[in-house]
Structure 1
Amino acid sequence: MLRHAARRLVSRAAVAPTARRALATAEVPAAAAEDSTFVEAWKKVAPNIEPPSTPMSLMQPRPPTPATIPTKLTVNFVLPYKSEIANKEVDMVIVPATTGQMGVLPGHVATIAELKPGVLSVHEGNDVTKYFVSSGFAFVHANSIADIVAVEAVPVDQIDPALVQKGLSEFTAKLGSASTDLEKAEAQIGVDVHSALNAALTG
């Protein structure tokens, strides 16, 4: 597969000499240079072409882990269509991990947690902001930075309890009448999400 990709690059470069010169003279990012296994494999199949940039070369390096635990946790909370919280310093976040509610404080051990439908709460002193998230991941870094990525999220105070009860009743009925595995799975997801929404509203 790598050989095929290299051949395609060679053929494109032959058609476009300008692109070939730009590729040959471009600086190889440090992150790509450090990926020695990839670079060695690339040079075996395409010795005359510089290795391309890897995804790591496009990412900004994280700040180093401080010697002492900071007093605040820096949080980034993003959705596919917007950034809800960006580089905000807070006291704590509690995320609905699949293994249970997980509190994240400054100095938390590096962790990757899958999220389930539930409440994400952001604590700043006496102020607590709550969001209902459908699913996603929380990436907790050793330098007291937490990146939370959710598929869908809405502030809890914007949820309509009547619609939640209606949806829960509808999906419960669908689950009882489902005749195929697909119908059962879809109905069960609806029940799980609306049950979690109901729990978020009732505290």
Structure 2
Amino acid sequence: MNTLALNIVTPNGSVYSTEQAELVVLQTEGGEMGIMAGHIPTVAPLKIGAVRVTVDKKVHYIAVTEGFAEIRATGVTVLVQAAEQSDAINIDRAQESLRRAQERLEHDKKEGVDYHRAERALHRAINRLDVAKYR
């Protein structure tokens, strides 16, 4: 089977890298996108979600924030602010982030302060907890 390279990069460096991806599934602003070797060149905006990567018939999950994916016939580069592999997610920390985000949302409703920011924090926390299920 043809494979492609995948590199998930944050401002702090590479979080996940492989040369043997059989399938990469991204959560784009336009919907879910599956990429295999030979895909047409594309740049896609990403939303908060999971990147699913199949390597040797095993699926790996990486939680990512918003960003962009550069897709080429031989590889995919994902550029995001933050990313965590499922087995590296600290569940207690993610649950605490979820609790804080929910509190901020309630406070922001009453105060009318930065609702969008609190909502994004809530989505990031929920995404991390969802991806952590695939340890």
TM over 0.5, yes or no?
yes
Identity %: 20
Question: Equivalent residue for 2:25?
Answer: 94
Question: Equivalent residue for 2:118?
Answer: 187
1:113 partnered with 2:6: no
TM-score computed with the length of structure 2 as normaliser: 0.79
User: Partner letter of residue 108 of structure 2?
Assistant: L
**What is the deviation of 1:134?**
1.0
Gaps of 5+ in 1: 1-69
The structure whose residues are more often helix, as a share, is 1
What is the CA deviation profile of residues 110-152 of structure 1, one whole-angstrom value per residue up to 9, with x for unaligned ones? 11111111111221023222111112110111x3221111111
1:103 partnered with 2:34: yes
Q: What SS does the aligned partner of 2:103 have?
A: helix
Larger of the two Rg values belongs to structure? 1
CA distance in 2, matches of 1:153, 1:195: 14
The structure whose residues are more often strand, as a share, is 2
**What is the deviation of 1:92?**
1.0
**What is the deviation of 1:99?**
1.4
Which of these residues, 47, 55, 79, is aligned with residue 149 of structure 1? 79
2:15 and 2:84 in contact (8 A); partners too:
no
What is the CA deviation profile of residues 61-106 of structure 1, one whole-angstrom value per residue up to 9, with x for unaligned ones? xxxxxxxxx7111222222111234462210111121112211111
1:74 and 1:144 in contact (8 A); partners too:
yes
CA distance in 1, matches of 2:37, 2:5: 8
1:177 partnered with 2:110: yes
Q: How many residues align structurally?
A: 131
Higher RCO (CA 8 Å, separation ≥ 6 residues): 2
- Cα 1:146/1:118, change in 2 over 3 Å: same
1:82 partnered with 2:82: no
**What is the deviation of 1:201?**
4.6
1:171 and 1:191 in contact (8 A); partners too:
no
CA distance in 2, matches of 1:93, 1:130: 10
Gaps of 5+ in 2: none
What is the CA deviation profile of residues 144-169 of structure 1, one whole-angstrom value per residue up to 9, with x for unaligned ones? 22111111111223241532442342
Give the alignment of 1:33-72 within 5 angstroms: 71-72=2-3
